[in-house]
A and B are shown apart, each in its own frame.
Chain A
Amino acid sequence: MQASDRFNINSQLEHLQAKYVGTGHADLNRFEWAVNIQRDSYASYIGHYPMLAYFAVAENESIGRERYNFMQKMLLPCGLPPEREDD
């Protein structure tokens, strides 16, 4: 960051953004981003009842079961993180 914009709104903007889970940064890797995407997706499915109903019909499960499954999947949505290559 330049000296000039250390004090302007942009630096605050990034600080503000960093407070939210799910926002990213330049060093984010594919896995971390994918985890965020997956969790957001599941949260969205659970949040929109019609979506949930749709999935329930498609999978022939009860809506409650679907919701439970989605919540469980939010735990490790993409499996274990890969070994860091650069470490």
Chain B
Amino acid sequence: MDIDNEIAKTQEERRRKEEELASLTSLTFDRDLYGGTDRDAYVTSIPVNDEDDANLDSMDSEVARKLASYTAPKSLLKEMPRGEDDDNALGFRKPAKIIDREDEYRRRRLNQVISPDRHDAFASGEKTPDPSVRTYADVMREQALAREKEETLRAIAKKKKEEEEAAKVEKESGGAAAAVPKRRNRWDQSQDDGSAAAKKAKTTSDWDLPDATPGIGRWDATPTPGRVSDATPSVGRRNRWDETPTPGRLADSDATPAGGVTPGATPAGVTWDATPKGLVTPTPKRQRSRWDETPATMGSATPTAGATPAVPLTPGVTPFGGTDLQTPTPSNLRGPMTPEQYNLLRWEKDIEERNRPLTDEELDAMFPQEGYKILEPPASYVPIRTPARKLLATPTPMGTPLYAIPEENRGQQFDVPKEAPGGLPFMKPEDYQYFGSLLNEENEEELTPEEQKERKIMKLLLKVKNGTPPQRKTALRQLTDKAREFGANALFNRILPLLMQPTLEDQERHLLVKVIDRVLYKLDELVRPYVHKILVVIEPLLIDEDYYARVEGREIISNLSKAAGLATMIAAMRPDIDNIDEYVRNTTARAFSVVASALGIPALLPFLKAVCQSKKSWQARHTGIKIVQQIAILIGCAVLPHLKSLVEIIEHGLNDENQKVRTITALSLAALAEAAAPYGIESFDSVLKPLWKGIRSHRGKVLAAFLKAIGFIIPLMDAIYASYYTKEVMFILIREFQSPDEEMKKIVLKVVKQCVSTEGVEAEYIRNDILPEFFRNFWVRRMALDRRNYRQLVETTVEMANKVGVADIVGRIVEDLKDESEPYRRMVMETIEKVVANLGASDIDARLEELLIDGILYAFQEQTSDDANVMLNGFGAVVNSLGQRVKPYLPQICGTIKWRLNNKSAKVRQQAADLISRIAVVMKQCQEEQLMGHLGVVLYEYLGEEYPEVLGSILGALKAIVNVIGMTKMTPPIKDLLPRLTPILKNRHEKVQENCIDLVGRIADRGAEFVPAREWMRICFELLEMLKAHKKGIRRATVNTFGYIAKAIGPQDVLATLLNNLKVQERQNRVCTTVAIAIVAETCSPFTVLPALMNEYRVPELNVQNGVLKSLSFLFEYIGEMGKDYIYAVTPLLEDALMDRDLVHRQTAASAVKHMALGVAGLGCEDALVHLMNYVWPNIFETSPHVINAVMEAIEGMRVALGAAIVLNYCLQGLFHPARKVREVYWKIYNSLYIGSQDALVAAYPILEDEQSSEQNNIYSRPELMMFV
């Protein structure tokens, strides 16, 4: 390998230089650094990705593991303490870079080139396009050339390979002498071929294109970071920082003469051209270790330890330059940094530090004081802006970076990022590449208008990308408003490269995409020349794993196609349809489907038809058909109107000579059928024959795709046809049952499910023809191990059971409940559960019943894994569907339960208790009350359980038993049970609380008399604590329990407890207390509660008074009409509250008035209500949202209770008030009045005087209302 040689050479060179240096100075710093030992003993390089690496980690080391006396699961052993995990847990996660979560396929987006602008045929009209502009023809030509090149190269490779093989064969055959001339012959030939092809390839390369496109070669106007030297798709991410400067690359940059740069080319492009890093820095080595340069690294690092990321003085040089990166701890390296990137960076940083300009002080110190003069710089002097050129100007003095003495800090700011001028947001190191020029504080006036515009755009973009939300908002608005002024060219030249930035984060991408969206809207038809550019950066969003990114991508492309029009879109994307890169074709197909959904399918049909019938390349046909598939997936049932034409377009693909085309055609048909279901079978008529013929002739992937299509088409058919076609396909399916291919298995299962569930397929056929083979091939242990297979198999079997009935299916698998593999047993159990739950157990005969219970008991007892709710659910489902037939087995089941309740494992105990609550109802049906009583006692004994999960289940089981056998028959008797529950109420575990309060509430409701009142009071105190619970269900149950207890022992004591609780601080507690008071009042009649409650209002304490008011509010809400008896009693209290200074008093009183008014509407309490209304009305000018809301609602309540006319009369006084503030409020009330009862107002509107004079003649009166018969 030449790279390895290169490494060796560089290392050799370095060692020589170091030796030289060492001999020059008396003291070798190596010794200082490393101690006395010989340096050669050190390993100078550690291979980066070698198998030695594996042993670095002692946790992973085979030897270490073998020596260890005990072991644990690998996952635990591998779990190493990691610092950043804590941060993640705390929610301080660093924003994720998109690239970090992308797989290799998705990273191929970075290989794409933002293509140069294209000719806009619409804008130029009839004119012949300027030769300098890239037209559609140019692009197509380029594509064709690229294809040809690719094919030639492939042909060469193939030929070479064949040759080699042939040679090998010949060698083996042994005829050496005879073969020599022959071989030579062929060699010559092949050499000829090779050189000819190479020559051809050369002539077809891009930069040798005819002069039709001078200066606009593919390479210069495009400031992409991820440029690839040729069209061969390279693997992995590439950007300008991590790539070893290959000769090809250098040729690239040289290829564009500086003079040839068009004025339109952006500075970034210039930078690009001028960045032959490779010329200055010694070629970085791919395999170089990051360890071998430790001394050098330390030398170049900033002396301050733990410094914040340093930003080099010259902007734009080292985008990643941070001191933390200099320390060679692997954990500090950022994810995407490859060693070579790292090395390159370090080189650059070193050189940068060495070559920074000397300051005046330094020069003063160097030169003698006299004899020198400081000259003015010449007027024509312009400082070099592109940092790379600076690098080029001064070569490195020596190959090795040396140890720099810390004192030599020459006044540089290493750590503080240079302040961005003009209130610009902070720039991240990688932003310097794009925004670096903003840091040059030049005089704005000296710039050309063009440059000023660019600067402005850059500033705005930076604000959008990194700014605070307000900055971002204004910048976004400015960009939108001035979009046409800036022009499409300037905007997209800035935005699009940013989107290709490899370090982009999700949020940044979102913002930039948003910019594009807004700008698109404004630019409209001006975007035409840039359509392809935009697509290159937006298309990858369509296959992003993030749903929102996909939606965003769709939106942009849809807007783009609306702005640019169909013709432009097709012209832009047509060349990509048969691109050699599969990635490009895939994304293009998806983009096309979005275009179709945006502009309508009919518009795209002719084009699609042409593409799908392309004779030139199978890729074009493949992409065309894929577009149809994507359309179906994207727009779903909206394909129906065009279904026929879409099917016609792709149907010939089923017989295509290319296998990939056949596959995609079948998949597209499947997608179309799925989208169209349950309609549209007539559109598929033409493909039925080829599909069904195809399954006989194809194998492997194609067959799978065909089967999938059939699976989706059969459910659309009428019953007779479905039956016929199912039979046709079934023998193939049965043959494929045995296929070892996982993908095929899944498809076959799915197709079987689809066929079986279709109406026309009879049970008899399934039973005889499918079931035996199906069970033989699929019901095997291996299927239970893969999650997806498992689920698919269960679903398919359940579907079959729906057709053939319970007995057939259950009979076949019931024996497997005793299988030795637990996952398999679980799969059997889940299937049985679903089948029995769907269809009941009436089909199951006595023998099967016995087997079933036996098997279930076995499976239930043998389960060991944790996620075994399957067993529990299955048991419950079977027992419940068997009903009374379980009676003979109940003693055995209960025996098992009792045994397991005593088990050591908490999980087992919990399951046993849960099982009781599942089967309690059935036990009652079987009249096994004695048995249940027995279980009750057993459970009672286990109430001391310490695991809260188990305790919760035990309480649940007790509750289930109490529910079915009733309070009187319950053993242990309620009077013993309840005191045992009181302490459990203190438990803070949610599950325990919930089950316990349910049980206590049940007892309070049905069997309160079995328990002394003192015990209930004790429980009341405990219940107050439960009002603090987080779960709403618990609080609700608690509040209801208060009601039951109050009913049982009378409201007085409970009420006293509750009223006292109003004094507590916690709001939630008080609110729940008020609700409880209201419920007590409701259950025990309000008159038992109101006196004490109103008395409590006299306590001069805000919380208590508000609590009372709130209780009143809830109370009147609950008692509704009953309120008419109490309204006069509480009116004085409400009067007082509505006049209180405290806002909350008035608010709560207003809501009480509302409930009261709504409750007593039409019951003759108008006098009291009008009185209260007079107190409510002055509050209409409140501004606090809650208060004003309550007041408005009270007025609405009054509208209902008193009628709209009365409220209107209150309203009229302010509708035309001179003060606007007053009018606004009154009109608001008027409007809600109007919306609420418009018709009722007609009778109540005031009498308006007509205005009749010389200039106006307006009649405002309503004479009709004066009519009298």
Contact = CB atoms under 8 A, between A and B. Distances in A.
* B partners with A: yes
Interface of A: 2, 4-5, 8-10, 13-14, 17, 20, 22-26, 28, 30-31, 33-34, 37-38, 40-41, 44-45, 47, 54-55, 57-59, 77-80, 82-83
Contacts of B1251: 82
B1230 interface: yes
B1258 A34 contact: yes
Contact of A41 (B1224, B1245, B1259, B1268): B1245
A79 B1245 contact: no
A62 to B, nearest CB: 16
Contact of A24 (B1230, B1258, B1262, B1268): B1230
Contacts of A33: 1215
B1239 to A, nearest CB: 5
A25 B1227 contact: yes
B488 to A, nearest CB: 37
A78 B1230 CA distance: 21
A23 B1269 contact: no
Contact of B1264 (A4, A26, A41): A41
B1258 A79 contact: yes
Residue among A8, A54, A59, A78 with the most chain B CB within 10 A?
A78
Contacts of A25: 1224, 1227
A37 B1227 CA distance: 14
Contact of A34 (B1242, B1248, B1268): B1248
B1228 A14 contact: yes
B1267 A13 contact: no
A37 B1248 contact: yes
A17 B1235 contact: yes
A37 B1260 CA distance: 9
Contacts of B1262: 37-38, 41
B1260 A5 contact: no
A82 B1255 CA distance: 8
Given A10-B1188, A25-B1224, A44-B1239, 4 more contacts: A17-B1235, A40-B1238, A78-B1259, A80-B1256
A47 B1230 CA distance: 22
B1258 A2 contact: no
A20 to B, nearest CB: 6
B1169 to A, nearest CB: 23
Contacts of B1268: 58
Closest 5 CB pairs of A and B: A17-B1231, A26-B1223, A58-B1267, A23-B1231, A8-B1185
27 contacts: A5-B1183, A8-B1189, A9-B1185, A10-B1189, A10-B1192, A13-B1228, A14-B1231, A20-B1231, A20-B1234, A20-B1235, A22-B1234, A26-B1224, A34-B1258, A34-B1260, A37-B1260, A40-B1239, A41-B1242, A41-B1245, A44-B1242, A45-B1264, A54-B1267, A58-B1267, A80-B1257, A80-B1258, A82-B1251, A82-B1256, A83-B1256
A26 B1227 contact: yes
B1227 A10 contact: no
B1241 interface: yes
Nearest to B1189: A9
A5 to B, nearest CB: 5
Interface of B: 1183, 1185, 1188-1189, 1192, 1215-1216, 1220, 1223-1224, 1227-1228, 1230-1232, 1234-1235, 1238-1239, 1241-1242, 1245, 1248, 1251, 1255-1260, 1262, 1264-1265, 1267-1269
Given A41-B1262, A79-B1257, A79-B1259, A5 B1234 contact: no
B1234 A23 contact: yes
A82 to B, nearest CB: 5
A86 B1180 CA distance: 30
Contacts of A20: 1231, 1234-1235
Contacts of A41: 1242, 1245, 1262, 1264-1265
Contacts of B1235: 17, 20, 23
Contacts of A77: 1259
Contacts of B1241: 40
B1224 A55 contact: no
A57 B1251 CA distance: 29
A14 B1245 CA distance: 22
A17 B1269 CA distance: 38
B694 to A, nearest CB: 58
A70 B1225 CA distance: 33
Given A5-B1185, A40-B1241, A79-B1258, A30 B1248 contact: yes
Contacts of A78: 1258-1260
Given A20-B1234, A22-B1234, A41-B1264, A54 B1269 contact: yes
Contacts of A24: 1215, 1227, 1230-1231, 1234
Nearest to B1264: A55
Contacts of B1189: 8-10
A47 B1227 CA distance: 26
Nearest to A1: B1224
A28 to B, nearest CB: 7
B1258 A82 contact: yes
Contacts of A5: 1183, 1185
Contacts of B1248: 30, 34, 37
Contacts of B1220: 26
